[in-house]
A and B are shown apart, each in its own frame.
Chain A
Amino acid sequence: MAADTLVGMTRIDNNPSDAAPDAAVTVRGLVKHYGETKALNGVDLDVREGTVLGVLGPNGAGKTTLVRCLSTLITPDAGQATVAGYDVVRQPRQTRRVIGLTGQYASVDEKLSGYENLYMIGRLLDLPRKEARARADGLLERFSLTEAAKRPASTYSGGMRRRLDLAASMIGHPAVLYLDEPTTGLDPRTRNEVWTEVKRMVAEGATVLLTTQYMEEAEQLASELTVIDRGKVIAGGRIDELKAKVGGRTLRIRPADPMELRPTATALDEFGLTGPGNATVDTETGTVLVPILSDEQLTAVVGALTARGITLADIATELPSLDEVFLSLTGHKASAPQDASPAREEVAA
């Protein structure tokens, strides 16, 4: 375990007693308020060593605040968090030695070249000159930036900048890597580029806490998922578990009369057919979504609605996307409620 090779003492003692034995990050009851805004309102989570935990949530859910707490950039108001056994509040210096951070914005110095950026960070991490040079060259090579190594980062494309940013967070061989919305604002092709790199890092055994508002990204990169909304964890577990929790499939039912949307949902709830989740109404498309577990349930749903005299215009089964998982967990869509600016959403004030 990384733990034992680390310099510090007092490390395991910091982990809460209920923490998983192989937890690299443990968060218990983390709270951070900005005036009236409860950016974090009692968050619990664990990241097991060598795994990727996806933290999924809409804008303003508290994702960035969480990452900033865990990387010692801000101090939580209450609760506890340990990273590789170090308490982020009481042992910030030790914590900084074991983390790597890639923010929503490429946090590289645009005026410096790719090489100079990495060399500088190597030196700041106490690598001897020669080693810092070698590490910079190695990482540039690895992230396919060798050709651009001497150019100022301001001339890089969006994807190149993120890759440089990833390389920068890898210099210190961090025990835990935070990726805060690593592909926000990137076009699909560039997004794939970043995903490929992250997948490679994961395959090599990195422990990653990844925040994202893209379901697809979580599905692609994470093995476990914590869904947060308005500063609280609303669900967690393996991605397939979460999917199962809301049903193996989703039935999308469109009553012929839009006025019958609510009665349809009510009928299904009363019928008790909805398995682990409840029927939800999607007024935008005029449909009711019902998670189901088997073909028998599908038949039963149709039967129940016929018995109520509800005429159906359309009925379709789909595999639930993470969007729908979110919808059925929170009762609202996984989109920005009012916050239009994706920038520094949770850092305001």
Chain B
Amino acid sequence: MTAATLTAPTAPAAEGRIGLRGNLRHIGALVRRNLLWIRQDPESMFDAILFPIVFCLLFVFVFGGAIAGKGHQEQYVNYVVPGLMAMMGMNIAMGVGTGFNQDFQTGVMDRFRSLPIARSSVLIAKITVEIGRMLVATAILLGVGFSLGLSVADVTGLFEAIGLAMVFGSSIMWIFLTMGVVMKSAQAIQGMGFLVLMPLQFGSSIFSPPSTMPGWLKAFTDYNPLSTLADAARGLMNGGLPVAHDVLITLIWSAVITAVMAPIAIRKFTTKT
């Protein structure tokens, strides 16, 4: 290897710039890494698989009767499943932060950061894999929903609802990625995450119509982006309701969160010592 040691690497990137193809290749290699993790450690999929099952059953059978009236559980399925779709993204997003944080505890992040790759590709690969996990969670949720009598008025609407939940969920991931870089431990992120997510999730139209809530809480739920997303998903799946406004507001929320948090996440990640 005498000569080889002193030769330049094969890639001819001009003055170190990384082209789009190079970036995609790097992201691909890192996505593969994350997928191999799942194979190695299938338990890491528990949140994506069990969470939708447990929440769906719990809410339909335990609270469904109380919220929608005894014997109206089926109506409640149609109400809560689109809402749970909105919620699913949050829980998966939290996993991004904790997983990312653990990478920093080992030296592997140093290795990535000393390689000639765009540092954002590490983040983007992570988000790509998590969107995949979100899709798995959504598929399982819908499977359970259908077996409990979920009816979808409009198949196109169903896919639009899924798409919308993905877009919003991935914008939330940037927040958790930032926390994953900044905060000291995975436990801290989890604790903090629950503290913020719980009020957001329950103080929304996900589980019950805000019309029964006191005025101050209703004011909160009206502005809660999770309500907007849940209402939009509900309208798209159940049909018959005007959804354009809710969809638009959700997309604006996603765009704003991404526009603010993605640069912060990349910056924090790049400058972390």
Q: Which of B10, B29, B107 contacts A123 (CB 8 A)?
A: B29
Q: Which of A73, A106, A111 contacts B114 (CB 8 A)?
A: A73
A281 within 8 A of B: no
Bound: A204/B108 CA distance, A:
27
Query: B78 CB to closest chain A CB, in angstroms?
Result: 40
B110 lies within 8 A of A103 (CB): yes
A124 lies within 8 A of B6 (CB): no
B28 lies within 8 A of A98 (CB): no
With A68-B273, A152-B40 given, is the CB distance from A110 to B5 under 8 Å?
no
Kindly report which residue of chain A lies nearest to residue B12, judged by CB atoms: A7
- Chain B contact-residue range equals 35 or more
The CB with the most chain A CB atoms within 10 A, among B4, B5, B22, B110, is that of B5
B41 lies within 8 A of A73 (CB): no
With A111-B40, A172-B9, A173-B5 given, is the CB distance from A71 to B108 under 8 Å?
no
Q: Which of B6, B28, B116 contacts A96 (CB 8 A)?
A: B116
B17 within 8 A of A: yes
B37 contacts which chain A residues (CB < 8 A)?
A: 111-112
Bound: A127/B26 CA distance, A:
11
A245 within 8 A of B: no
Kindly report which residue of chain A lies nearest to residue B38, judged by CB atoms: A111
- Chain A contact-residue range equals 35 or more
B107 lies within 8 A of A73 (CB): no
B107 lies within 8 A of A106 (CB): yes
Kindly report which residue of chain A lies nearest to residue B28, judged by CB atoms: A123
A205 within 8 A of B: yes
Bound: A174/B9 CA distance, A:
8
B195 within 8 A of A: no
Interface residues of chain B, those whose CB is within 8 Å of chain A, are: 1-18, 22, 25-26, 28-30, 32-33, 36-37, 40-41, 106-108, 110-117, 273
Apart from A92-B16, A125-B115, what are 20 other A-B pairs with CB-CB below 8 Å? A5-B7, A5-B8, A7-B8, A7-B14, A8-B16, A73-B110, A74-B273, A93-B13, A93-B17, A96-B16, A97-B8, A97-B116, A108-B108, A111-B41, A120-B30, A121-B111, A126-B116, A175-B5, A201-B5, A205-B5
Interface residues of chain A, those whose CB is within 8 Å of chain B, are: 1-2, 5-9, 49, 68, 71-74, 91-94, 96-99, 101, 103-112, 116, 120-121, 123-127, 131, 152, 168, 170, 172-175, 201, 204-207, 347
Interface pairs (5), CB distance under 8 Å = A93-B17, A97-B11, A103-B111, A124-B30, A205-B5
